[in-house]
Every structure is written in structure tokens, then in C-alpha cells.
Structure 1
Amino acid sequence: MAGPSSDYDLDDMPLPDAPTRSAGVLAAFHEDDGRLVLTKRASGLRHHPGQIALPGGKVDPGDADEVAAALREAREEVGLDPAQVDLVGALAPHRTVTSFAVTPVIGIIRGPFVPVAEPGEVDEVFAMPFAHIADPASYRVEKRRWRGGWRSYYVAPWGPYYLWGATARMLLGLAERFRS
């Protein structure tokens, strides 16, 4: 599944004919053991409070592209210096139900890194083991009521963390790339 993905993949719902906003997220793996840096979004945020996410966000006017947005947001949200990140590549954009086209940028963190959560955006920064992220068997499909119907989505829970939705779908795409 090397092509684009979307929050609509599992349901018989056509992609909306609406413009999307570009965004970038950083899947940053530590060079020593491959653990992935993730955040628990601040509980006071208007959008997606408390959800598990990759550092990232929308492309701002000063960003050259989605890669620049992902690196800028990782610096802002978790204190990751872009100079510590060796970029490996990117996956095809993921279309969200909130009208974003999110490009997952893949990188390796070189050297020591002690995350610092940005309190207005991030409640917690933690690392998930590479073995969990890279194994397609870690992912399953669940359903919930949404906008008057049922919506299916991927999940990959680990310990106290409920990884789901767009983040789980993008990481499943990466796991499938590892397997091929």
C-alpha cells in the first residue's frame, strides 16, 4: 500500500470534493533502538485533545513544504533540533476527515535527545518501540458512531496509549512498507 491513504479507506465513503490543507508530521526514530517519538496532545486543545500523535502540523506561510513544517513543528512541540534528524523519506499524503493532506516525513534522530513538551500543545512526549510500530499485526480495525453512521478506523494500542485514527493509519502504511 505505497500510495495515498485516507481516513475513508475502511468505509464505503467517497472522498469529499473539498480542498485540503497541507500538513507534515515527523515519524522520528531514535538511531540507538528505533523507538518512535510520539506526543499526547494537550487536553485543552480545541482539535484532537488528548490524542496520540506524531509531532507536526499544517504548513505555515514561512514553511518551504511539508518537510519543513514537520521539522518546525517537532522543534516547537518536543524540542527536537532539525539538525539532529537525518531525513529518510516520506510517505504519500494521508487525507483526514478534517480536510488535511498530511505528509508523513520519516527521519532518524542522531545523538542524544531529551524531549521537552510544549505545554500549550503537548501533555506528554513518549517513545513507542520500533517492534510495535513496524509489525502490521499490531494494528486492528475498530468502529465507532460518527456523524450519524459508523466509522471504521485503525488502532494500535500499546500500554496506556491508544494509538488510533490518522496516526495509526499512517504508521500502518509505514509498517507495510517495512514488510515489502
Structure 2
Amino acid sequence: MNDGAEVGRLRKALAGPMPASSDFDLNPGVQLDPGRVLRPAAVLIGLLPGPAGMELVLTKRSSRLRHHPGQIALPGGKIDAGDGSPEAAALREAEEEVGLDRRTVDLLGQLPPHETVTGYRITPVVGVIRAPFAPVPEAGEVDEVFRVPFAHVADPGRYRVERRQWLGAWRNYYAVPWGPYYIWGATARILRGLAERVQA
């Protein structure tokens, strides 16, 4: 499938209604506080043409970070008061974290918000990078910027359910490894939501 057809498929996938997702989807027995307050955040699902099709930009968080050190993540972070929208926040964070010029990104749409176990309400923003991109990892925040074939993460069959103990209880989660990169948790759940829509 050529890049134009892939972008068209993405636009169509993002146009219809979609249910929200959360880190608790695979753990229905968890009781959530109905009065909980979630912090707004946004991430960029940034795609760009590669030699064998569209590729997804991901980061490996710094091993020196206090929270989620060394984990694979989409570029993004908290929505600041001055951002104005999740799209603006996702583009700003991507520019800060990986050196992506926000002017080179054509936004295609959003996925529904995703709730994390750490109390964030993340809006995933999907965009296509239309210019050559040489990543510049933010010192102290990002150890590595790499690409994964979009065909890999857009295939629901590539995902598996794994589990580990968290806060004294077993927690199930999605994982979609690629080579040496272990993509799991919120990042994998967000990407699986997109994969389900693309393949529908």
C-alpha cells in the first residue's frame, strides 16, 4: 500500500466514533474512584514515509528519569495552560523531546482519550511528517529516538497480553515488541486502539 492510500485509510479510521481506552481495560475488577481527577496530557502518533511504507516515531525514555525510566513512549507530555489544545501540546512536546519541527506535521485527527494508572488523561494526536526528519533527543529526557514500521503496530495480531505485579496485585497489559524494543503499557494500548480502527 502506498503512502497516500495509507494516509487515506488513517483519515477514514479516525473519522468514526470510538470508545475511550484505559490502562484498566484488561483488568475489569479494578475499582476506580469516581471522583478521581485526571491530569490532561497529549502524545503524537507521528508517521513518516519509509523505504517499505509508513513508519512510527517512538522514543526510549532516559534511564535517569524518576518516572518510567527506560520505557518506550510516544513523544508527548502534560498539556500546559498556554497550549490551547491537545494538538498544540503534542506538537510542542514532540518539538522539545525529539526536535520535530511542528510546521512539518499534517494532523489527521485524534484518538479518544486514554486513562493511565498514573492519573493522566492522554489525548493521542495522529499526524504525518511531511519533511525529512533528523531527530534531536532532548538531553536528560530521551535516550533514543527510533522508528517502527507502522504495519507492525497497525496489526492487532501482533499484540499479546502479558502481566506483572503492580502495587501488590497482578495487572494485565498489552505488549507489541519490535526487535530490541519492548513496547507495552499505555503506549501499546493506545496503538492497539488505532490498529483496531485501521483494520475495521
Are residues 1:16 and 2:36 paired?
no
Q: CA deviation at 1:61?
A: 1.6
CA shift digits 1:15-64 (9 cap, x unpaired): 33310010000000003431000000011111111000000000012110
Q: Which runs of 5+ in 2 are unaligned?
A: 1-16
One-letter identity of the residue aligned with 2:26: L
One-letter identity of the residue aligned with 1:50: G
Cα distance in 2, alignment partners of residues 140 and 66 from structure 1: 29
Q: CA deviation at 1:95?
A: 0.2
Name the residue aligned to 1:50: 70
Q: CA deviation at 1:14?
A: 2.9
SS of corresponding position for 2:54: coil
Cα distance in 1, alignment partners of residues 49 and 127 from structure 2: 9
CA shift digits 1:98-128 (9 cap, x unpaired): 1100000000000211111111110000000
Name the residue aligned to 1:90: 110
The number of residues matched between the two structures is 180
Q: CA deviation at 1:67?
A: 1.2
Q: Which runs of 5+ in 1 are unaligned?
A: none
Q: CA deviation at 1:2?
A: 2.1
Name the residue aligned to 2:182: 162
Q: Return the match for 2:45 from 12, 27, 32.
A: 27
Are residues 1:77 and 2:97 paired?
yes
Percent identity between the two aligned chains: 62
Are residues 1:99 and 2:122 paired?
no
Are residues 1:127 and 2:147 paired?
yes
Runs of 4+ residues deviating >6 angstroms: none
Cα distance in 2, alignment partners of residues 113 and 87 from structure 1: 16
Native 8 Å contact 1:35 1:130 kept in 2: yes
TM-score, normalisation: structure 2? 0.88
Bigger Rg over Cα: 2
Cα distance in 1, alignment partners of residues 87 and 117 from structure 2: 21
